[in-house]
Amino acid sequence: MTHATTFITQDQFAKSLIRRLDTTVQTTSLDIAERLRFARERALAAQKTTPLQTAWNLAPQAGGSFALSGGNFNLFNKLGMIVPLIALVIGLFAINQLQNDYRAQEVADVDAALLTDDLPPAAYADQGFGQFLKLQAER
């Protein structure tokens, strides 16, 4: 099914829905029609008010200064979103640093064990020495 075919079927569906609603409106009672009109007016009034209009109102304060006010602008709400994000980033950074320190300590411990052992480090890389250790462990 192509995009054009989908658009045509959606258009046909919309037209049939409009016809159905038009016939239903004519048979509804006056009470229901009035409630629908009131709901439509409330929805349109709510749509006209945008968040930016209510969020950035300048309100005059005592002493001739102005302050930002409004229903959607709240400093604690903004901090409530930013502080956990900062804590998460700091936590991830700390975990990364701890894991890097742990890995470095493991490598340092292995190096110290190899350097302080009686055998030279080349003996551990020899395949025959590995087999010798396996045979010793089996006995």
Q: What is the pLDDT of residues 61-108, one digit of tens each?
A: 555 555 555 555 567 777 788 888 999 999 999 999 999 999 999 999
Query: Which range is least confidently modeled, 23-37, 41-55, 82-96, 99-113?
Result: 41-55
Residue with tokens 């551990």: 124
Distances (CA, A) of 86 to 11, 78, 80, 81, 82: 48, 12, 11, 9, 6
- Tell me the C-alpha distance between 88 and 82, whole Å: 10
The answer to whether the predicted template modeling score (pTM) of the entire model surpasses 0.75 is no
Mean of pLDDT over the chain: 75
Q: Which residues pair with 60 in a beta bridge?
A: 66
Enter the tokens of residue 91. Answer: 């936590």
